[in-house]
Structure formats: structure tokens, C-alpha cells
Amino acid sequence: MRHFLTLKDFSKDEILEILSLAVKIKRKAKKGKFNPYLKDKVLGMIFEKSSTRTRVSFEVGIHQLGGKGLFLSTDDIQLGRGEPLKDTARVLSRMVDMVMIRTFGQDRLEEFAKYSSVPLISGLSDTYHPMQLLADYMTICEYGKDKNLVAAYVGDGNNIANSWLMLASKIGFELRISTPKGYEADQDVLKNAYEFAKKSGSKISICENPKDAVKNAGVVTTDTWVSMGQEDEKEKRIKYFEGFMIDKKMMALAKKDAIFLHCLPAYRGYEVSDEVFEAHANEIFDEAENRLHVQKAVMVWLDRQRKN
């Protein structure tokens, strides 16, 4: 049985297979057609971190697939009162068909998966956000930027940066990452990415100067400098991240037809200027919508793998 915890666990062919399914599902949805691939199936959704896009996209997604989603806040279930994660996994496995968790440590996802007898999906952890990168790549393909792709990620070396490393090294495109000193991407993730890149042909560069990363890139992307749980570091981070904002001057270094992506929520005046954000709003909100379609594809794909 397969789980979906990180792109590290998937081959290029599997990632592209899921994305192909997402394209098919989206095309039909735009015509008002929703195939009940998961008719009467139940998705348990555990949120240890709150969210807008993750909750709405999964809840709407499972509904459009013919199933039902159960929102399970840790304030509402025994997990929030100290029940062992492995016990929660074994209980839910007997009552639902699939589980999604949005949490802090990647180790929590791995422990749950170990004891779960139904597919587990990562809605985000502090280490990875694989669903977001599927949505990003789907958007890149829709805008015709996947050919000879050069992507630049500028900002915090967080779960989004780590997931870009996994996607690039699996698919085989060029990725340049620029972060302030002390805020680099996870070194173990980077090591794994370099290993995967040997097979895929991906070129991965770590740039001290964000301008070097953005120069002639076809896709420019960033994320908030202050992620959930880091609010007490806000002032310190703003100081260290000076010069890493994607503004008009920075974006002008990319290709003339480059697109800009942001996983949201965006904080104008910090990681991105309002001018750049609004100029690329269509791309950003297409990207946000694609979370819905790729997540439906992942749920259908996992259900098929379980049957096989």
C-alpha cells in the first residue's frame, strides 16, 4: 500500500502519471462533470496546523469525487489530549478509507503511516509540502513553461524549498535556490536531491545572491519568510531577509515572459511586492486552484494502488 508523504518516495513516471490524471479531472470539472471515483469513501482530515487552501481543497475534492470528508481538529479528537499517534492511526484505519494530516514534524507522518492500514496523505509538514509542488508543476505546464525549465526559488529554506528540490531532482529541470545565510534548505534533503539529479539530469544550484538565481529564469517563486510557528522570529527574519524580496527590479532579471508563483498566503512588502503579486495574480490563483485538482488525483491514484 502506498502513502503520499513526500515526492522523495515517487518516481518521475509516477509523478507525471498523477499529474496526467489531475489534468483529466480538471478538464472534466470545468465542464461540470465530476466522476464519482471515490463514491461513498471517507477521508479523515487531521489538522494540527490550521489552513485555508488545504482544508477547502481536500473537503471540496473528496465531495466532488463522491465521498465525504471529516474535519478532525486536534481540539476535537483525543489526539489533542495525549492519545498516542499510533493508536489514533489504528482507530481511524478501521473507520475511514484514507487520512490526510497537516502537521509539524515529518516524523509524525511517518509514525502514523507505520500504523495505518489505509493510505495517508501529507497536507504539509515542517519538512515537505508535496501537494503544493504538484500544483506548482501543473501550473507551470499549463503556462507552457515546462520545456527547458529554469526555476528560481528565493527566500526561506523551508518546506517549500525542500519540496522544490525534490520535484526538480525527480523531474529533471534546472533549479536555483537562494536563501539568506542561516536559513538554507535542509542539508539532508539537498544531499538526496543531488543524488536523484544524477539520474534525472537535473541541475541544482545554490546561489548566495538572489539576483543570480533569478537571472533568465522562466519561473520565479518564493514563500512567506515567517511560517506558522515562527511568529516570534518575525523581526529577526525581516532583517536577515533584506534584499530577498521579489520586486519589479528582481523580476526584471528573469525572462520577459517568466511567470511568478506563490503558494500563499502572501505578505506584500516582505517576500513579494504588491506590484509583482498583482501583475502575476492569474498565475498565482491558477496555482491555488490546482491544489484542488492535484489532490483529487492523488486520492484517486492512491485508491487504485490499494486495490491493486
User: Which residues are part of the catalytic machinery?
Assistant: 102, 129, 132, 223, 263, 291
The SS3 of residue 176 is strand
Contact of 138 with 108, CB cutoff 8 Å: no
d(CA 34, CA 224): 34
Alpha helices by DSSP H, the chain: 12-30, 53-64, 85-93, 106-115, 130-142, 159-171, 187-200, 210-214, 234-240, 248-251, 274-279, 281-307
**Of 135, 186, 182, 102, which Cα lies nearest the Cα of 26?**
135
The C-alpha R_g of the chain, in whole angstroms, comes to 19
**DSSP summary character for residue 223:** -
**DSSP summary character for residue 101:** E
Q: Which helix (H) or strand (E) holds 123?
A: strand 120-124
Q: Which three cell numbers stand for residue 223?
A: 514563500
Q: Which three cell numbers stand for residue 283?
A: 498565475
Q: Which three cell numbers stand for residue 151?
A: 526555476
Q: Which three cell numbers stand for residue 29?
A: 470539472
**Of 183, 185, 184, 180, which Cα lies nearest the Cα of 167?**
185
Q: How many residues are present in the chain?
A: 308
Residue 276 φ then ψ, to 5°: -70, -45
d(CA 50, CA 114): 24
Contact of 22 with 134, CB cutoff 8 Å: yes
Residue 201 φ then ψ, to 5°: 90, 10
